[in-house]
Structure 1
C-alpha cells in the first residue's frame, strides 16, 4: 500500500525568522535566557518589555553582534547563528538600530548610498525616489549632513538607509525613542504601509507598547531576558497584566 504524498500547500511552513533557545552573554552576565521567537513572512511582530529586559540584545544577536553562545537563529531555513554580520546583511536582512546611528558626517544622499551598497546599487535611482515618497523631508535635506538633522529626520534616514537594501526582513529597534508624537505617528504609518502594500516583514523592538501592539500582527513580552507572554497584538493589548505593566499612561 502506498501513501499519497502530502500536497505542498498542506506542509507546515517554516517561519522566515526562527529563534530557538538563544542565550547571549555580556562577559559572565546572561542577557538572553533561552529565547524562542518566530517571525513569519509578511508579518509585523513586536517585542515589548521594560528597559534592560534584553530586547535590543536580541535584535543585535540576530544580526551577529553579540554572538549567541547557545541556541540557533534561522532565516529562511538557513542557520545564521555563526555568520558574520556582513554575510547576514547579504541575505537581505536590514537593521535600523537603537539610537539611529546614521553616519553624521555624511550627507543624507551618502547615507542612502551606504544602504544601497548591499544591493549593489542595482536599483538605486528607483529606490531613492521610493524613499522620497515615504519621507519627503529627506529630499529637502538630501545634501545636508546627517548629524545636522533633527531627531525625527535622523530616524527617517536610518529607516530609509535600511530600506535601500531591499530587505526581506527589517529589524527596527526603538524607532519612536525620543521623538515627538506627530513624528512617531508618521513613522508607524510608514511601517504599516510598507507591510500592507509591499508585504515587508518587520521585527519591531519598541518601548511604546501601545503603538507597537496596535501595529503588530503578533507580539511577545520579554522580562529579564526571557519571553514571558506571546499572542496577537490585540490579545496582548487587552490583557490586564500587560496593561498594568506597559500601557497605563503610555498612550502617546
Structure 2
C-alpha cells in the first residue's frame, strides 16, 4: 500500500439499529501516518462509525476497505487480527484485572518476544501505569483508566488505532497529557490514528485532517487548521463550548 492510497476507506456506508438509520452514506479516508479526527455533537453517529469499522454492528450497505482488503462483512476478531485496535468509548478495561494483566490481554495477539520492549515503551509514555502495575484496573482514576485503555490497545501493535472519545469526563490536565501521547506516537512511531472526539478544539489542533458529522452524515471535511477557522465549526463546537 503506497502512501497515496488510503489505509482505511469508508464508502457510502449505511448502518442501522433496527429500523433507525444511524449512518447515512458516510465517506471517510484515513491515509498512512495521519491523525484524522471526526467531530460532532453527542448522538451524531461518531461512535457508531467506529464500531461499524470494527464489524459490530456491520454496515447494511456501502464498503469499508482496510489496507487494500474489503472488511465490510468480516467478523470483529478477524478485523482486529489485521492490525486495527480500538480504545472504545467508556474505556472498558477489565476492572478486576491488574494493570499488568490488562496490558497482557492487549498483547495476546502479538509474538511474545515483543512484550518486554513494548511494555517498556508503554511505561515511558504512561509512567503512571508503571506505578500502578499491580493495582486492579477498577481502582484507578478515570484518567488512569483512559491511559490503560489506550495502552492496552497499543500492546497489540496496531497499524491503525481507533480512539473513541479519549477526553470524555477527564480533567483538562489529563486530556492534555493524553493528546500529547497521541501526537508523540504519531510523530515518532508513525502510528496512524482515527480519533472520535467531542472536544473539537483539542482534536482539530492535533489532527492533520478532520470530518464533521451531523445526524449520521458527513457535512464538512478539511485540514484541522481549516476546520478550526470555519465559522460553522466555531459556532457549533467551539464558542462557549468545551475547550
Which range, TM-score by smaller chain?
over 0.9
What are the residue-to-residue correspondences of 1:72-83 with 2, within 5 Å? 72-83=63-74
CA-CA distance at 1:74 after TM superposition: 0.4
In structure 2, how many angstroms separate the alpha carbons of the residues matched to 1:159 and 1:237?
26
How far does residue 14 in structure 1 lie from its aligned partner after superposition?
1.9
Structure 1, unaligned runs of 5 or more? 1-7
User: Counterparts in 2 of 1:118-157, with a 5 A limit?
Assistant: 118-157=109-148
Question: Which residue of the other structure, out of 189, 203, 207, is the alignment partner of 2:198?
Answer: 207
Separation (CA, whole Å) in 2 of partners of 1:35 and 1:20: 6
Report if aligned partners of 1:89, 1:118 keep a CA contact under 8 Å in 2.
no
Partner of 2:177: 186
Unaligned regions of 5+ residues in structure 2, if any?
Answer: none
Q: For 1:210 and 1:108, how far apart are their aligned partners in 2?
A: 31
Counterpart CA distance in 2 for 1:35 and 1:180 is: 32
Secondary structure, counterpart of 1:178 in structure 2: coil
- Secondary structure of 1:31's counterpart equals strand
Q: Runs (4+) of structure 1 moved beyond 2 Å? A: 249-252
DSSP-derived class of the 1:249 partner: coil
Higher mean displacement: 238-247 or 118-127: 118-127
Aligned-residue RMSD, C-alpha: 1.3
Of the three residues 59, 65, 70, the one matched with 2:50 is: 59
Deviation of 1:119 (Å): 1.2
Q: Counterpart in 1 of 2:22?
A: 31
Is residue 17 of structure 1 aligned with residue 4 of structure 2?
Answer: no
Report the Cα offset of residue 121 of structure 1. Answer: 2.9
User: Which of 136, 159, 162 matches 1:168?
Assistant: 159
TM-score with structure 2 length normalisation?
0.98
Q: CA deviation at 1:251?
A: 5.3
Aligned residue number for residue 236 of structure 1: 227
* Alpha-carbon distance in 2 for matches of 1:173, 1:242: 20
Q: Which has the larger radius of gyration?
A: 1
Deviations 1:97-154 (A, max 9, x none): 0000000000000000010012133311111111100000001100100000000000
Give CA deviations for 1:20-48 in whole Å, capped at 9, x if unaligned. Answer: 01000000000000000000000000000
Deviation of 1:56 after TM superposition, in Å, equals 0.2
Tell me the distance in 1 between the aligned counterparts of 2:235 and 2:120. Answer: 43
